[in-house]
């Protein structure tokens, strides 16, 4: 989408400890503390050991640069991807922000994020002079051409809060058909699909049709599996003909596709029935 619109892309990858503020900025407090300690050590070493007569009056001394000054404190601030998008919007530069796998975060994250997306402005509390406002004090509809386009993905591993969902346009991405899988392979591997790749698409599709899945393999697992098969073919451990004639439950390197013990047990049972 960012490519089609010609907008910059900012990608935020969510994990279990993510906070909404992390998407805005990070302040390196430990780094600043270390620098303060280093500065004190340097000042103590630089103090000349002069006699009382040679010492300069304290009132005549030039103050050394303080790490509390704005330019120096600013260097400890790193804007997050959403923060950078808001900064660009303030400069009338629209962008696309991808917030990936929001369901990995804790239960409060979506509502906290909703607040930040509603405001589209923030202040770095450790450096109050650093303020960013995508709306620039105007109504949202006036600034709409310059506001970031927010794309949020979820694997549906946990239910998202209803207030959050009410503010979203929901779109479910269906698993690709075989023709689309071939196009994905071409974009990741090579334009001309080999017989091995063709066989892999058909067998993977057959494998997904089994009704025993608890966590059905997706496109990511499929690409990893094909990469392993390609290497096996390269070292002459597998041919396209062998792959095409293999029953789905006996496919090679199933550990690349099967991600839960229950699915592995179910496949073993099907394998025993097939034998």
- How many residues belong to the chain? 275
pLDDT value at residue 244: 95
CA distance 85 to 146: 10
pLDDT value at residue 102: 95
CA distance 54 to 187: 75
Judged by DSSP in three states, 135 sits in coil
What is the per-residue pLDDT across 108-163, written as a single tens digit (0 to 9) for each?
A: 999 999 999 999 999 999 999 999 999 999 999 999 999 999 999 998 878 888 98
pLDDT value at residue 53: 46
Judged by DSSP in three states, 192 sits in coil
Supply the pTM of this predicted model.
0.73
pLDDT value at residue 64: 52
> Residue 89: how many CA atoms within 13 Å on its side-chain side?
34
pLDDT tens track, the chain, 275 positions? 999 999 999 999 999 999 999 999 999 989 888 888 887 777 677 665 544 445 545 445 444 555 555 567 889 999 999 999 999 999 999 999 999 999 999 989 999 999 999 999 999 999 999 999 999 999 999 999 999 999 999 988 788 889 899 999 999 888 899 999 999 999 999 888 899 999 999 999 999 998 888 889 999 999 999 999 999 999 999 999 999 999 999 999 999 999 889 988 888 888 887 76
Please give the CATH architecture assigned to the domain spanning 3-30+73-166.
3-Layer(aba) Sandwich (3.40)
Residue 258 contacts by C-beta under 8 Å, 6 or more apart in sequence?
217, 264, 267
């Amino acid at each position: 989408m960012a490519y089609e619109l010609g907008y910059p892309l900012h990608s935020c990858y969510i994990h279990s400890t993510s906070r909404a503020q992390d998407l805005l900025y990070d302040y390196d407090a430990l780094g600043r503390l270390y620098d303060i300690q280093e500065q004190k050590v340097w000042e103590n070493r630089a103090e000349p050991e002069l006699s009382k007569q040679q010492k300069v009056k304290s009132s005549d001394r030039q103050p050394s640069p303080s790490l509390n000054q704005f330019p120096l404190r600013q260097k400890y601030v790193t804007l997050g991807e959403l923060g950078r998008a808001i900064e660009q919007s303030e400069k009338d530069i629209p962008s696309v922000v991808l917030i990936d796998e929001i369901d990995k975060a804790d239960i409060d994250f979506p509502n906290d994020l909703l607040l930040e997306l509603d405001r589209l402005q923030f202040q770095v509390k450790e450096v109050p002079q650093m303020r960013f406002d995508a709306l620039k004090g105007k109504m949202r509809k006036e600034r709409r051409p310059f506001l970031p386009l927010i794309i949020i993905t979820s694997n549906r591993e946990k239910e998202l809060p209803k207030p959050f969902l009410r503010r979203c346009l929901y779109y479910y991405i269906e698993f690709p058909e075989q023709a689309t899988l071939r196009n994905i392979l071409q974009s990741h591997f090579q334009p001309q699909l080999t017989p091995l790749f063709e066989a892999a698409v058909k067998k993977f599709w057959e494998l997904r049709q089994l009704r025993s899945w608890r966590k059905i393999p997706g496109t990511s697992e499929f690409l990893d599996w094909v990469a392993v098969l390609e290497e096996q073919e390269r070292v002459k451990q597998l041919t396209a003909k062998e792959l095409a004639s293999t029953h789905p439950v006996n496919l090679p390197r199933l550990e690349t596709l099967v991600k839960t013990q229950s699915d592995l047990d179910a496949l073993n049972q099907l394998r025993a029935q097939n034998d």
